[in-house]
Each structure stands twice: as structure tokens, then as C-alpha cells.
Chains A and B, each alone.
Chain A
Amino acid sequence: MSDIAQARASLLLRLLEGDGHASPRERRAAFNDIELEPPVSGLVDKVAKDADSVSADDIKAAIQSGFTEDQIFELIVCAAVGEADRQHNAALAVLDAATAGP
């Protein structure tokens, strides 16, 4: 059986608590898809919920609002990992429930 638990924890620790161009608060907000101001909040929400709809204009608007490319890079990565993490945790809980004994 493969085990990504340790690798997943290391990834999250690095993204959310390690050094970065965006602040730890901003990275955590992107990860949780909450508490960011427009237009970055819209970009982050699209990455989490409908990444196929992200446009060049979304990223351009975020940069024009004062974020650097490195900050946008970090926030998009955090948003993607955050949504994947929520889905994964929920699915593992369902797996546990489905295989729990009587």
C-alpha cells in the first residue's frame, strides 16, 4: 500500500509555514479559500473550484492589484493543494466510515 501521509504533511508544512514571498497568512488564506481581497480572492476561488475557468485576465488583475508573480505563484499553488487536501480528507473519512465494523 502506498503511503502519502508523510509526503503530504511535508508539502503542507513547507507551503504554509516555510519561507515565501507571500505572507504565511496569505498562503493559509489561499489554502483555505477564505479571507483574501478581490481580485486575488476570485482567482484563488477559481483555482480551487473551477481551475479550467482561470483566465490570463484573472492573473493579470491579481498582479495589477499589487502582488508579484512569485506571490501569485505561491497563492495559486496553495489554493490547488488546499482544495485537493479538503477532498482527500473528506474521502478518507468516508472510506473509514464505509469500512468501519458494526
Chain B
Amino acid sequence: MRLAILDNGHSFSTKMLFAIIRAASRHPTPEPLKLMKYRPDFFGAPMQKLMNEAMRGPSAWSVADRELMAAYISKANRCEYCTKAHAAVAALAYRDDAKATAVLVDLESAPIEAPLRATLRMLGKLAVNQTISADDVRSVLVAGASREQVSDALAVCFALNVIDRLANAFAFAVPGREAFAAGAKFLLSRGYG
């Protein structure tokens, strides 16, 4: 972390929580948790509510689909930490390690349905170009996604556009595969709230 307060500026009770998490998981305290628990009234608490609604709220998209969107958006934002973290959750949710990997390697040849592929294409364009056109949206609708699904995907994009920027700006340390797998189990069972 590039700000010392995000490593060691937390309250005593939060530091105790981190110690318990490290002991139970045998992995370092997850970087997003350090961010969310630093002065949580300012950012973490309201952002966690938003994340949970976008990633776990009612939607025609599955949790796995939304985690895959999160990984794909993060890749477009060049955020290594969030790409790996959400790809791990997507793999666990799909019970398929290969699907998320295939999407991140080559969206166009990955084994996914047309509405999801078109939606990912639109989200990637929004993240990279910071804008999309009506034709981009129509392509998603023509592929079979509903208006509500497009709106839900844009909610995921909002959340990740925030978190990816913060992960990159604060320089989240990227742990090994086992730490992401442990984090994925937690996020899949407990969500973001």
C-alpha cells in the first residue's frame, strides 16, 4: 500500500479482526479489506452496500456471470489484483476454472452464451474508452440481453471502475493463487456486505 494509514492506521478492534483473519486463513489480510475498513464511515461502509447490491442483488445474471464481468472489467482497467480476485470467484461460482480463463484470454472464442459475450464486449469498451454508443448497447440487446440486464451490468461496471482505480492508485500487493482461492470462497459464501 502506498499510504501507511491503509496498512496500519486502523482502529484497535479492526487490527484484532485482521489478526484473526490472518490466523484463520493463513494468508495476509486482503488488501481490499484494509481499504474498506479504514475509516469505514467515509468510504468502505457505503461502498460495501453498493458492491453487494451490484454483485449479489437480484438480477437475471448469475453471481458467476457478474463475477466474470468484474474480472473482465478489471482486466480492461489493467488492475491485476481485481482481475485475479474476481476470476477466482467466477471460477468457483461456475465450478469451471477454464471458463473465466478463456474469457480473459480471448473473449470472442470463449465458451459462453451470446448475451454474456456481447455484454462483456460492451463493458470492456466502456472501461477502455470511457464511453459507449447507442449501437454498442443495441448490439447487446440484439444478442439477447434484456434492458434490465444491461442496467445490471452497468452497475457492476460502476463498482469495479471505482475499486480498480483504488487498487491501482494505492498499489494493492498481489498475493499468490492460494490466497485468491481462499478469498474467493469467502466472497462466494458471504458476499460483499
Q: Which residues on A are within 8 Å of B, measured CB to CB?
A: 1-4, 7-8, 10-11, 14-15, 18, 20, 46-49, 51-52, 54, 56, 59, 69-70, 72-74, 76-77, 79-81, 83-88, 90-92, 94-95, 97-99
Contact = CB atoms under 8 A, between A and B. Distances in A.
B31 to A, nearest CB: 14
Given A2-B59, A87-B161, A94-B137, 10 more contacts: A1-B60, A3-B155, A4-B54, A10-B49, A11-B46, A73-B3, A79-B165, A84-B161, A91-B126, A91-B154
A95 B6 CA distance: 37
B109 interface: no
A95 B151 contact: yes
Interface centre among B54, B126, B148, B158 (most CB of A within 10 A): B158
B53 A7 contact: yes
A65 to B, nearest CB: 15
A44 to B, nearest CB: 10
Contact of A98 (B79, B134, B168): B134
B90 interface: no
B59 A1 contact: yes
Given A2-B53, A11-B47, A80-B162, A91 B157 contact: yes
Interface centre among A11, A79, A86, A94 (most CB of B within 10 A): A94
Interface of B: 2-6, 9, 38-39, 41-43, 46-47, 49-50, 53-54, 57-60, 77-79, 126, 130-138, 141, 147-148, 150-152, 154-155, 157-159, 161-162, 164-166, 168-171
A92 to B, nearest CB: 6
17 contacts: A1-B60, A2-B54, A4-B57, A11-B47, A15-B42, A47-B165, A48-B165, A51-B166, A51-B169, A52-B77, A54-B168, A59-B169, A80-B162, A80-B166, A87-B130, A87-B158, A88-B157
B165 A4 contact: no
